[in-house]
Amino acid sequence: MTVRTTRAIAAALEIGLPFEPRWRGPALDRLRDAGHAAAVEAVAAELARHGWDVLIEVGFSRYGERGSVDVAGWRATDCALLIVEVKTSLVDLQATLAAIDRKRRIVPRELLRERGWRPTAVGVALVVVDSSTARDVIVRHRSIFDSAFPSRTVAVRHWLESPTGDLRGLWFLRVTRRVRATERTEPSLALPGASRVRPSRF
């Protein structure tokens, strides 16, 4: 039977037919989660190197608005707060921008209440694992990214060293190795840790 016929029969019987791509190695969601975790680790290591206190997966809930921040950084000497959203790929731009705006609005107040952090400078960074696909998305939607994130990787790095004023930046993480997997072995992830991932300077 064709896929169309199969779906028609399943729909009549109220049976779902989920579509799940599979690779030669582990399921794609496992690779995505591992890549995301490694990218978060790389960002946290970079912040720590610049003297930031780092929190991972900071949950929040305020008047029905819930979520979590991948990485939150605090530098007490400058009273600076950084909110980081990490993406291994750019899929739903509207949802991503809405989530970042929500976190920028809620998280500083929550951290002030919970930890006493009273920032005079607040930075928001969208960290994207560097790839030709991600760059193509940004080029196609340049006006959106220029408006939402006027600063780029170099400016973000400078802000980390001397956080003055607010920041909205797009930060690329450059991958140094490709993902490899076979049917017999676990994959070698492109992002196994901070030492294998470095912030792009471009």
Q: How far apart are CA 138 and CA 155, in angstroms?
A: 17
Average pLDDT, the chain: 81
Q: pLDDT tens across 27-55, in order?
A: 445 546 788 888 999 999 999 999 999 99
For 27-199, CATH number out of 3.30.460, 1.10.10, 3.30.9, 3.40.1350 equals 3.40.1350
Map the chain to HEC letters: CCHHHHHHHHHHCCCCCCCCCCCCCCCHHHHHHHHHHHHHHHHHHHHHHCCCEEEEEEEEEECCEEEEEEEEEEECCCCEEEEEEEECCCCCHHHHHHHHHHHHHHHHHHHHHHHCCCCCEEEEEEEEECCHHHHHHHHHCHHHHHHHCCECHHHHHHHHHCCCCCEEEEEEEEECCCCECCCCCCCECCCCCHHHEEECCC
Domain ranges of the chain: 27-199
pLDDT digits (tens, 9 = 90+) for 74-126: 999 999 999 999 998 898 889 999 999 999 999 999 999 999 999 999 999 99
Residue 6 has pLDDT above 70, yes or no: yes
Model confidence at 188, in pLDDT bands (50, 70, 90)? very low
- pLDDT tens readout for residues 162-171: 999 999 999 9
pTM strictly above 0.75: no
Q: 129-186, pLDDT tens digit by residue?
A: 998 999 999 999 999 999 999 999 999 999 999 999 999 999 998 854 444 433 333 3
